[in-house]
């Protein structure tokens, strides 16, 4: 007998995803410390420029180490445990960073902070991959990418206003936002049973395609991180800090406005070729800085590489989540993510050397060359990467 009762439609996203989405929003809206850390270290701690540079390099080192090793923890204990640990540990280290006295303790606290909070991102990427199948996974990653950038646009402005009351208050509010997010995760995020532990295996997968993809991710990260030298270039060209902030705001605005529609367009056919296209757009944008001498020209260059960033990263997480077997998904995601941390460590050093010895043209030409090299490598890997993706993802 056919039932006359129609089954309720399956929701587009499971409840667990929305718990993760709101948790990410809470965490990112309270991300006050890192955007204003340089100002705090200079004005309150009275550290030298070299010491501040070392602290920022340690943040990149911590991310490189933490994301690289996070996969083993994610695969064995699950993403929910790892995200809760990252947020709780990050809150503790944020408070310790606010209490640190002197360069050595500040550097140690910054490294500890990066080691803790960097566990979160690969665990969140893994959680989305576990919750959603391929076609909807791309949409979900774009929703997370969008909310992260909403937080990145709002938090520095709100943090700057709060800093007029007290710089140290920023640390406590940042820690509070992390503890709140950790509590929401602990109480509301579904505890899926981790896959059975496989037989003893090597710490690092012996997968040639994975390591080639990691190299491409590193090169793309080095390209993207080149924007950090833009403030130095602006100062050399006589622009003010206010003008720099106004121009850089173009990036945040475009990501917020275009992140979802462009990401959803790409999701219809999440082909690996989108990454190469994004890399080429970034090459064009950074090359534009080499020719720019007016505010409008720099703004146009930022707009171009921002669109390239949106295009490339809209599909990257989907590809990484499909490269390895489900039991090692966290390991693959963590290792790939660690390349961005390594890029954050190396880019300011390499970019600074290029700027000093080859000038502004050499810096931006080098960044563009890296992006083109990345695009060529991604196109070389395209056939093998696509063969690894599920039919719904590869299109």
The CATH number for 313's domain is 1.20.1250.20
Question: Which domain-ending residue is among 141, 167, 191?
Answer: 191
The more confidently predicted of residues 358 and 133 is 358
**67 and 147, same domain (yes or no):** yes
What was the pLDDT predicted at 1?
38
HEC-encoded secondary structure of 216-274: HHHHHHHHHHHHHHHHHHHHHCCCCHHHHHHHHHHHHHHHHHHHHHHHHHHHCCCCCHH
When pLDDT is cut at 50, 70 and 90, the band that residue 236 belongs to is confident
- DSSP secondary structure letters along 17-85: HHHHHHHHHHHHHT--HHHHHHHHHHHTS---HHHHHHHHHHHHHHHHHHHHHHHHHHHHH-HHHHHHH
Average pLDDT on 181-187 reads: 94
Most confident residue range from 43-47, 107-111, 165-169, 333-337: 107-111
**350 and 272, same domain (yes or no):** yes
Alpha-carbon distance of 46 to 25, in angstroms, equals 32
pLDDT tens readout for residues 156-173: 778 777 877 877 888 999
The more confidently predicted of residues 9 and 268 is 268
Q: Hunting for tokens 């140690």 — which residue is that? A: 108
User: Which residues have C-beta within 8 Å of that of residue 1, sequence separation ≥ 6?
Assistant: none
What was the pLDDT predicted at 196?
52
- What is the value of pTM for the model shown? 0.77
**64 and 140, same domain (yes or no):** yes
Average pLDDT on 277-302 reads: 93
Q: Which helix (H) or strand (E) holds 115?
A: helix 102-117
What was the pLDDT predicted at 106?
93
Question: Which domain-ending residue is among 157, 191, 225?
Answer: 191
The rounded percent of the chain whose pLDDT value lies above 90 is: 35
Looking at the predicted structure, is the pLDDT value of residue 3 above 50?
Answer: no
When pLDDT is cut at 50, 70 and 90, the band that residue 177 belongs to is very high
Average pLDDT on 201-218 reads: 86
Q: Please indicate, yes or no, if residue 5 is contained in any of the structural domains.
A: no
pLDDT tens readout for residues 30-45: 888 887 787 788 778 8
Q: Which two tokens stand for residue 60?
A: 């990149």
Question: Which domain-ending residue is among 156, 191, 226?
Answer: 191
Q: Please indicate, yes or no, if residue 324 is contained in any of the structural domains.
A: yes
Average pLDDT on 198-210 reads: 74
What was the pLDDT predicted at 227?
81
Average pLDDT on 176-192 reads: 91
Q: Please indicate, yes or no, if residue 197 is contained in any of the structural domains.
A: no
Average pLDDT on 233-249 reads: 77
Contact status, residue 229 vs residue 362, Cβ threshold 8 Å: no
Q: Please indicate, yes or no, if residue 4 is contained in any of the structural domains.
A: no
240 backbone dihedrals φ, ψ, rounded to 5°: -90, 165
What was the pLDDT predicted at 201?
58
Number of domains in the chain: 2
Q: Which two tokens stand for residue 348?
A: 């300011």
**253 and 361, same domain (yes or no):** yes
What was the pLDDT predicted at 307?
93
What was the pLDDT predicted at 6?
41
Residue 189, phi-psi category: left (phi > 0), alpha (psi -120 to 50), beta (remainder): beta
The more confidently predicted of residues 85 and 135 is 85
What does pLDDT average to over the chain? 84
Q: Please indicate, yes or no, if residue 345 is contained in any of the structural domains.
A: yes
What was the pLDDT predicted at 4?
38
Q: 1-5, 128-132, 155-159, 258-262: which range is least confident on average?
A: 1-5
Q: Which domain holds residue 161?
A: 13-191
**262 and 160, same domain (yes or no):** no
The more confidently predicted of residues 277 and 318 is 277
Looking at the predicted structure, is the pLDDT value of residue 384 above 50?
Answer: yes
**218 and 293, same domain (yes or no):** yes
Q: 63-67, 156-160, 337-341, 367-371: which range is least confident on average?
A: 156-160
Looking at the predicted structure, is the pLDDT value of residue 228 above 80?
Answer: no
286 backbone dihedrals φ, ψ, rounded to 5°: -70, -30
Alpha-carbon distance of 314 to 129, in angstroms, equals 14
**152 and 68, same domain (yes or no):** yes
Contact status, residue 310 vs residue 266, Cβ threshold 8 Å: no
Looking at the predicted structure, is the pLDDT value of residue 217 above 70?
Answer: yes
What was the pLDDT predicted at 9?
41
Average pLDDT on 76-90 reads: 94
Alpha-carbon distance of 40 to 37, in angstroms, equals 5
Looking at the predicted structure, is the pLDDT value of residue 199 above 60?
Answer: no
**291 and 368, same domain (yes or no):** yes
**168 and 245, same domain (yes or no):** no
What was the pLDDT predicted at 2?
38
Alpha-carbon distance of 374 to 332, in angstroms, equals 19
Burial class (CB in 10 A: 0-12, 13-18, 19+), 6: exposed
What was the pLDDT predicted at 5?
38
Q: Please indicate, yes or no, if residue 8 is contained in any of the structural domains.
A: no
Q: Please indicate, yes or no, if residue 156 is contained in any of the structural domains.
A: yes
Q: 41-45, 106-110, 244-248: which range is least confident on average?
A: 244-248
**186 and 214, same domain (yes or no):** no
Contact status, residue 95 vs residue 176, Cβ threshold 8 Å: no
What was the pLDDT predicted at 8?
38
Burial class (CB in 10 A: 0-12, 13-18, 19+), 264: middle
**125 and 149, same domain (yes or no):** yes
**91 and 119, same domain (yes or no):** yes
Q: Please indicate, yes or no, if residue 200 is contained in any of the structural domains.
A: no
- DSSP secondary structure letters along 175-217: HHHHHHHHHHHHHHS--PPPPPPPSP--SS---HHHHHHHHHH
The more confidently predicted of residues 4 and 314 is 314
């Amino acid at each position: 007998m056919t039932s006359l009762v129609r089954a309720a439609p399956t929701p587009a996203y499971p409840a667990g995803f929305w718990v993760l989405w709101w948790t990410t929003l809470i965490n990112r809206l309270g991300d006050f410390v890192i955007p204003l850390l340089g100002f705090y270290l200079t004005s309150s701690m009275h550290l030298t420029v070299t010491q501040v540079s070392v602290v920022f390099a340690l943040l990149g080192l911590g991310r490189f180490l933490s994301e690289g090793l996070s996969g083993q923890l994610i695969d064995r204990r699950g993403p929910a445990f790892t995200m809760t640990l990252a947020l709780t540990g990050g809150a503790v280290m944020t408070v310790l960073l606010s209490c640190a006295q002197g360069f050595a303790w500040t550097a140690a606290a910054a490294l500890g902070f990066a080691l803790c909070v960097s566990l979160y991102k690969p665990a969140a990427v893994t959680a989305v991959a576990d919750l959603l199948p391929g076609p909807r996974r791309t949409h979900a990653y774009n929703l997370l990418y969008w909310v992260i950038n909403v937080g990145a646009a709002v938090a520095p402005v709100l943090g700057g206003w709060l800093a007029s009351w007290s710089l140290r208050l920023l640390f406590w509010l940042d820690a509070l936002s992390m503890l709140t997010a950790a509590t929401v995760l602990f109480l509301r995020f579904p505890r899926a049973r981790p896959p059975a532990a496989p037989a003893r295996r090597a710490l690092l997968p012996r997968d040639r395609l994975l390591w080639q993809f990691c190299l491409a991710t590193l090169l793309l990260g080095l390209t993207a991180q080149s924007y950090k030298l833009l403030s130095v270039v602006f100062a050399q060209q006589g622009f003010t800090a206010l003008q720099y902030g106004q121009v850089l705001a173009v990036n945040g605005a475009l990501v917020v406005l275009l992140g979802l529609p462009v990401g959803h367009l790409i999701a219809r056919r999440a082909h690996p070729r989108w990454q190469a296209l994004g890399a080429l757009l970034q090459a064009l944008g950074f090359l534009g800085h080499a020719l720019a001498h007016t505010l409008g020209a720099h703004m146009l260059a930022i707009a171009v590489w921002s669109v390239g960033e949106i295009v490339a990263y809209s599909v990257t997480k989907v590809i990484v989540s499909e490269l390895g077997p489900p039991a090692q998904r966290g390991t693959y995601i963590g290792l790939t993510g660690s390349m961005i941390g390594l890029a954050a460590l190396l880019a300011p050093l390499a970019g600074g050397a290029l700027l000093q010895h080859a000038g502004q043209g050499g810096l931006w030409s080098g960044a563009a060359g890296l992006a083109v090299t990345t695009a060529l490598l991604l196109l070389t890997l395209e056939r093998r990467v696509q063969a690894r993706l599920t039919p719904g993802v590869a299109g």
